[in-house]
Amino acid sequence: APILLWFRRDLRLSDHPALSAAAESGRPVIPVFLRDPLVGALGAAPRFRLGLGLEQFAASLAGANSRLTLRSGPALETLRALVRETGAGAVWWTRAYDPESVARDTEVKAALKADGLDARSFGGHLMFEPWTVETKDGGFYKVYTPFWRAVRGRAVEAPRPAPGRLPAPDAWPGSERLADWRLGAAMDRGAEIVARYAQVGERAAQGRLGHFMAHVVAGYGESRDRLAEDGTSCLSENLSLGEISPHQCWHAGLRAMEEGKAGAETFLQELVWREFAYHLMHHTPRLTSGNWRPEWDAFPWSEDAGAAKVRAWQQGRTGIEMVDAGMREMYVTGRMHNRARMIVASYLTKHLMTHWKIGLKWFEDHLIDWDPASNALGWQWSAGSGPDATPYFRVFNPVTQAKRFDPDAAYRRRWIAEGQRTPPEPARACFEAIPRRWGLAPGDAYPAPVVEPAEGRKIALEAYENRDF
């Protein structure tokens, strides 16, 4: 009987444990993707990027003698219908870890097993399953550095090659059309612009990894913080959808270390930040929804998502160039440099005294590399409410940060058109990418600061000192 292979955030053929096991079984493999309510709940940009990824992935499967079947509906019901149509005896998938997916998958697995099917989940999204990393007293890690020490020497499974031709069923089940799903429908008008910057699919991801290892990783220790440089791997959008596996990145990093490339270990550490985020989300699912430290519930953050200062932040019009450049980069490319993410998050939660959940939600709607664990940890870390936040109440000064990490203002000029006689293409593209209803144009005067850096610092520190926790 055929195996239904339910793809979710694992859109690749190589180093895919569930797919390899299915191919090795010799039984027909039917790859499916379901537009279930969790796909419907994705933010605009991640949903759009998923559509690009699915298009590529369907083509890859076609090249492997296979086909991607698309169906809409609640997962269990839809899988049961497919089992009936195809006579499948097994439903396999790659494990997910966010609370919503875990709830869905637990229900699906129990129900399919009760139907007498071989329902099974495989690893592949993470190198270190969250329950396999324990502190000495059997707990989980709340701080990154000891987590890193606990995993750094572990053997990581060597990546598996793609299986080649996949055994096909006698007849394929009917499929919906990807175009009819309109996964980009909520993208306002920036979709084509974002697509220009995206690096879609397994082959593109492998190419990028090769480029990074050949040309960038040696200097990554420093380049990763320079805002204007091509100094990072840019693989997060691919890791997010599983177009590349962390194991593939890890082994490439190990090889670079053996070749004596200085930044390689730092790269491995960053991959472990991703693992750490998942570790925390698994052990404390509240990471994604509320203050990890409940005492922060008393902090006087504004929760008014419609406030003028929040709108200015969202639109990249705070009058603080460093903050606005980051927000505009996200509009145009669907990504944002890590250093800029920390700066804009600090500005929103400290200077603008606005709840991190408002920022988290905005990122969730605009990042093509959106990841439930990394986004939540990034925001809680920046806000101070997370487990491994900065040891003291840190307020990033966006002006000092800009001087250090964008010393010649190249990053700010790339993204901010106002005041430049001939702004570069990305700065102009911003005004194409943003919704027309915002009524903004490149010739506008650049706004005065919503909150001056020094004043914002004072407000935030006062609130922190007067906190009743």
Residues that bind ligand FAD (CB under 6 A): 224, 232-236, 239-240, 270-271, 273-274, 277, 338, 341-342, 345, 363, 367, 369-371, 374-375, 377-379, 382
Of 70, 74, 65, the residue nearest 100 (C-alpha): 74
- The CB-side HSE value for 132 (13 A sphere, CA atoms) comes to 10
Cα separation, 191 vs 49, whole angstroms: 9
Going by the annotation, the residues of the binding site for FAD are 220, 232-236, 267, 369-371
* Residues near 143 by beta carbon (within 8 Å), at least 6 away in sequence: 387, 388
Where does 95-216 show beta strands of DSSP type E?
Answer: 118-122
Q: Given the complex with ligand FAD, which of 167 and 237 has the nearer CB atom?
A: 237
Of 81 and 214, nearer to ligand FAD (C-beta) is 214
CA angle 1–12–118, rounded 5-degree value: 25
**DSSP three-state, residue 414:** helix
CB of 373 to ligand FAD, least distance (A): 7
SS (H, E, C) 316-343: CCCCCHHHHHHHHHHHHHCCCCHHHHHH
Nearest distance from residue 255's CB to ligand FAD, in Å? 16
Rounded to a whole number of angstroms, the minimum distance from the CB of residue 99 to ligand FAD is 16
Task: Report the distance separating Cα 219 and Cα 201, nearest Å.
Answer: 26
Under 8 Å between Cβ of 163 and 17? no
- Please report how close the Cβ of residue 227 comes to ligand FAD at its closest, in angstroms: 11
CA–chain centroid gap for 332, Å, is: 17
Instruction: Answer yes or no: are the C-beta atoms of 378 and 359 closer than 8 Å.
Output: no
Nearer to ligand FAD, 4 or 367 (CB): 367
Which residues on adjacent β-strands are paired with residue 120? 92
Give whichever of 66 and 236 is closer to ligand FAD, judged by the CB atom. 236
Look up residue 438 and give its DSSP letter: G
Instruction: Detail the residues annotated as belonging to a binding site.
Output: 220, 232-236, 267, 369-371
Q: How far is the CB of 375 from ligand FAD (least distance, A)?
A: 3
Q: Give whole-number Cα distances, 55 to 43, 67, 99, 178, in Å.
A: 19, 11, 27, 7
Cα 19 to Cα 322: distance, rounded to the nearest angstrom: 44
Of 463, 427, 236, the closest CA to residue 341 belongs to: 236
Instruction: Give whichever of 78 and 238 is closer to ligand FAD, judged by the CB atom.
Output: 238
SS3 string, 266-313, reads: HHHHHHHHHHHHHHHHHHCHHHHCCCCCHHHHHCCCECCCCCHHHHHH
Residue located via tokens 């209803």: 437
Q: Which of 31, 20, 24 is nearest to 168 (CA)?
A: 31
Q: How far is the CB of 176 from ligand FAD (least distance, A)?
A: 28
* Minimum CB–partner distance for residue 134 and ligand FAD (Å): 21
Strands (E) in 365-445, as ranges, are none
Minimum CB distance to ligand FAD smaller for 88 or for 235: 235
Q: Which is nearer to ligand FAD, 265 or 270 (CB)?
A: 270
Q: Select 71 or 355, whichever has its Cβ closest to ligand FAD.
A: 355
Query: What span, in angstroms and rounded, lies between the C-alpha atoms of 163 and 320?
Result: 51
Instruction: Kindly write down the DSSP assignment for every residue of 450-465, as one continuous string.
Output: SS-HHHHHHHHHHHHH
CB 164 to ligand FAD: min, Å: 28
Minimum CB–partner distance for residue 225 and ligand FAD (Å): 9
Compare residues 125 and 224 and give the one whose CB is closer to ligand FAD.
Answer: 224
Residues in the chain, total: 469
370/431 with CB nearer ligand FAD: 370
User: Which residue of this chain has its Cβ atom nearest to ligand FAD in the complex?
Assistant: 378
Rounded CA-CA distance 204/200 in Å is 6
CB of 274 to ligand FAD, least distance (A): 4
